[in-house]
Structure formats: structure tokens, C-alpha cells
Amino acid sequence: MRRARAALARAVAEVSGQALGPYQSAVVRIGFAGTWLFFLLREFPHRAELYGPDGPWSQELAQRLLDSNGAFTVLTWSGSALWFETVYAVAVLASAGLLLGWRTRATSVVFMIGVLSLQNRSVFMGDGGDNVIHLVAIYLVLTRCAQVWSLDARRARKRGSVTAGAAGPVLWGMLGAVFAYGAATGRFGPGWLAAFAAVWVACGLWWLVDRHEPEGEGRAALDVLANLLHNAGMLVIMAEVCLIYATAGWYKIQGSRWQDGTALYYPLGLDYFTPWPGLSALLAGSGTLVMLLSYGTVAVQVAFPFTLFNRRIKNVLLVLMMAEHAGIAVLLGLPFFSLAMIAADAVFLPTAFLVWLGARAAALRVAAPRALRRPERSPAEPSPAPPPPETGLRPDPALERGTG
């Protein structure tokens, strides 16, 4: 009993005393923010048809659906093109800010608002990758995902505090004004209003304590709360990934095409999923390869949640799943779905590999400017003469004076 209590006390101290998986949370932040940013930039010419006033899903239909399911979007606050363009631009900027880890507490909230606003405005425009981004955008608000590989971490090292500077209060002041307007006009549902109010008050309290009492008990209590929320958010993300693969794998088992190993053959013959027709035809022409890939997909997805307690097997299956999604991006033309799933898989990457990867990236970042600053000798410039060989003999002083 005493050992059990001691083990429980150590576990509680570990969970509340630190934000676990800082590198994994940073990779998830970078992966999902980058995926959504690239998607918004690629669809920029078609933004009005996808999520704006020119889309087939009208403002009235969107509002009726929101009234029935209680989802959140700010795009129904106004039907003007200017409001839509503003929201889209803010979503792009928030994605870039979250990708870089700049003022992450504020940009993660704005990122979530942008994702929810665009996706809930036109619910039939997304796919499975959009659903994953939708959920992870909410979970990232709970995490301390900028402890490494971020501008916030760099600011904390240089100035001693993440909240240094005036940009943070300005951002939270603007968010507070938007929340106040939404609350006054009844734009928020009761659940969303309470959630946004709690986030705004908690972050404001954090800023005050960090500025005026950085070493006191109040800051220690807020650190414990932040660590608990971070670890809970990371646990939910991991559980979500396991649930996605488990349900996908077990549903595939029930399909007759997956049972006979021909499921992959059919999408390879559809024009919508064949960006490289020659490559798709080459793969579809091999029945053995199609069968192996079909069965292998099901086996990996079903087995993955059961391998989390075996590090070696888990890492092998993780590589296979990432390779599978890379193949989906190339063969089926679904790059953003694949990027979202690879970013979700990254939550299980080993810390040692991520530390090594970060060290290699830092070394390349340092080496690149040095290579650019190195002077280049023109082809016509003669090479400098090599120094004379060392003979161990001292030269004649008379020869040095020119009087020999």
C-alpha cells in the first residue's frame, strides 16, 4: 500500500509539475498550422466559392444548420464580402503566427476561431483531414505547444519572460473586444460564450501574475493548472489518433472489397483520384501489390493502438503509417489530408529522434549563413601560392636584408 501511494504521488507530481512531450506538441503545432496555412493559400483564388458569399451553401442554410447543431462561426455575423475577406485574412495570419510560435496563447485561439468559422460555414466542403484539423485546433488551445521551436521560446530565453512586449496585451484586447461584441449581440451560444470567457480571463490572469509576481505562489499555481491542461490535451490528441485508426481499421474489415484485397484497385481507376494516371495504372496492374497494400493498410491500422506499450513495434508501425499517408498524397491526390494525418501521427514520435532532428536543423541554420558569407574567388583570379614547406631551418639574416 505504501509503495502504491508513493508511485501515485510520483505520477501526480510528474503530471502536474511539467508539460510532458514539449517536442511532440511543437511538432503537432507546426504540422497542423502549416497544413491549414498551405490549404488556405492554395484555395485563395476559390475562397469565395468554398466558404464565402459565392458558395452554393447560402448564408440562410448555414444559419439554420448552426441553430440546430450549436456550432460556432463568425462568418454568419455578417453577409458582406468585406467581413468574409477580413476573417479569411485573419485566419491566414493566425496560421502563420501559430506555425512560428509567435504569441502562441493568443494565436492558438485565433487559429481555432478561423478553423471553426470557415469549416462550419460550409460543412460539406471538408474531408477526413479537415475533421482532424477541426478537433486538434480546439485541443491546441489547451496545450503549452510553444516551449520549444518557437519565437515565444526564443523571447523567453532572451528577455526572461514569454509575456514581454506590448504585442500580447494588444492581441488580447482585440480578442476581448470581439468577444464582448459577440456576447452583447447574442452571436455566441451559451457554451461557446462561457468557453471563450474562461480562456480570456485565464490568459489575462496569467499575464498579470507573470508581470507582477513571476516567482510567487500564484504563478506556481497557474503553472500547475497549465501543466494539467497541457497533459490532458496531449492525452486527448493521442486518444483521438488511436480512435481514428481503430475505427478505420475495423470498418475496413467489414467491407467485402477489403476482405478480398481489391479495395485499393477501385480509387486508382477514378479520374478524381488519379493525379498521375500512368503511376496509378502501373500500380493497379499488379494484383499482388494491390492485395498486399490493401491487407497491409488494414493490419497496420487495427494493430497500431495495441502497440503503444512496445516502443520498437510502435515506431515501426508509425513509419509505415506515415509512408502510407505520403503514398495517399501522391497516388490519390490528397496532400492536405495526408499532411494532417502525418501531423497527428507525430504526437507519437520518440523524443530522442525529435531532439536529434532539432539539433540537425539548428546546425544547418548556422551553417547556411556562413556558407553565404564565404567569399568566392572568381575564375580569372589566380590561386594564392601555397606556403613554403616547413624545414626546421632559420633563413639567413643577410638574405632577409637583401645584402647577401
pLDDT tens-digit readout, 30-76: 999 999 999 999 999 999 999 998 988 988 999 999 888 889 999 99
What pLDDT is stored for residue 396 in this prediction? 41
What pLDDT is stored for residue 204 in this prediction? 85
pLDDT surpasses 60 at 394: no
* Closest-CA residue to 23 (of 352, 285, 387, 252): 352
pLDDT band with cut points at 50, 70 and 90 for residue 380:
low
What pLDDT is stored for residue 321 in this prediction? 94
Average pLDDT over residues 157-182: 83
pLDDT surpasses 90 at 354: yes
pLDDT band with cut points at 50, 70 and 90 for residue 328:
very high
